[in-house]
Chain A
Amino acid sequence: MTDAFASADLDEADRALINGLQGGFPVCDRPFSETGNKFGLSEDEVISRISRLCDEATISRFGPLYNTEAMGGGVTLAAMWVPEENFEAVAELVNSYPEVAHNYERTHIFNMWFVVLTENPERIGEVLQEIEQKTGLRVYNMPKEEEFFLELKLEALAEERS
């Protein structure tokens, strides 16, 4: 089992694929072949490298990235200020909602931050209201009002890891 938090050992071709495919992957009959031509690799080698990087959890996702709102769904970021003694119980309650996709503990008095994804926008308000009622804590709804979105572009660097 690979440690998903450990730094990966990557060679030159791995890094080229990770850096080169973040922005897009071809939509054509033989996309791995086309990718291989670009990077000087065979089709099989591109597939086996991407498979290995997925298996090792160096790649979190490979494929279409969907926009929930364009599909008619709802999405928001919510924050809570949870007293330390209740933190685990509140986390358990929040996480019990299938609509809660991500939840992070963060370094602030607003110490719990979670993303809610729903199949329709109305459901967002219901979920947040239920969490408020069950916990007695305020849920701060922070939906995006404007998006200055650029793609994720983390470069896999060759230099020494820290």
Chain B
Amino acid sequence: MKSELLTVFLDAFDRDLIALTQTGLPLVPRPYHYLGEQLGLSGEEVVLRIKALQDKGVIRRIGLIPNHYRLGYRANGMTVWDVPDEQASDLGPQIGALPFVSHCYRRPRYLPEWPYNLFAMVHARTRAEVEDLAGGIADILGEHRRGHKILYSTRILKKTGLRLTGSYSNQITKPDHQTGSPNQIKGKGVQECLE
């Protein structure tokens, strides 16, 4: 699929809702109701707005992003492949569907120094395992594969979250009836995370 460049209209409540949930969903029994109290909306209305934002593609999903290091995935390889442009649209979805590939994109080349146009992020426990898995990608690409590289991350130089201007600051206060600790900024997994 082509990436959507359509911009969705967001009203002030939507923007406040986005600002309030930038660090995550409050960990309380009725999180949408709790957000509604801060926005001056009912819980039902927050639920409807979130569903509408999902339908419009503004929210990809409500979910959980694990810290891959904590799950034992210590080797993270950005595998990059040179395939004919006219084949990329057919091959990309097959690569993206592999269980060990978290993101797959077609990006521009810069010849001669950068011939690679298909990017697939592979997560595994060791570099040897990443290389095995990359072998599986090579098999799918078959004769269309003209070259590839695996770039491992050796250092995180910066990692922060999404920012969007809104009328709320981005920290959710801890409500009285909360049983656990608030969902604070941690690894700040962002929707455009590349690791």
CA distance A28 to B44 in the complex (A): 8
- Taking the complex as formed, is B154 at the interface, i.e. its CB lies under 8 A from any CB of chain A? yes
Given the interface pairs A70-B7, A77-B194, A100-B158, the reply to whether A18 lies near B64 with Cβ below 8 Å is yes
Task: Flag if A65 contacts B59 (CB, 8 Å).
Answer: yes
Cβ-defined contact, B106 with A144, below 8 A? yes
Beta-carbon contact of A106 and B152 below 8 Å: yes
Q: How far is the CB of A15 from chain B (nearest CB, A)?
A: 9
Q: Is the interface of B mostly helix, strand, loop or mixed?
A: loop
**Contacting pair B59 A51 (CB below 8 A):** no
A71, A79, A104: the one contacting B157 at CB < 8 Å is A104
In the complex, whether A134 has a CB less than 8 A from a CB of chain B is no
Q: Name the distance in Å between B4's Cβ and chain A's nearest Cβ.
A: 7
B57 CB to nearest A CB, Å: 5
Contact residues in A for B103 (Cβ distance below 8 Å): 149, 152
Number of interface residues of B (CB under 8 A): 103
Residues B93 and A148 in contact, CB atoms below 8 Å apart: yes
Nearest CB of chain B from residue A142's CB, rounded to whole Å:
4
Interface size on A, residues (CB 8 A): 92
Q: Does A31 contact B (CB under 8 A)?
A: yes
| Interface residue from B58, B151, B181 paired with A66 (Cβ < 8 Å) | B58
Known A28-B47, A105-B155; judge A59-B65 contact (CB<8 A).
yes
User: Which residues from B are CB-within-8-Å of A151?
Assistant: 60-61, 63
Q: Is the CB of A61 within 8 A of B188?
A: yes
Does B149 have its Cβ within 8 Å of any Cβ on chain A?
yes
Partner of B181, one of A21, A54, A61, A71: A54
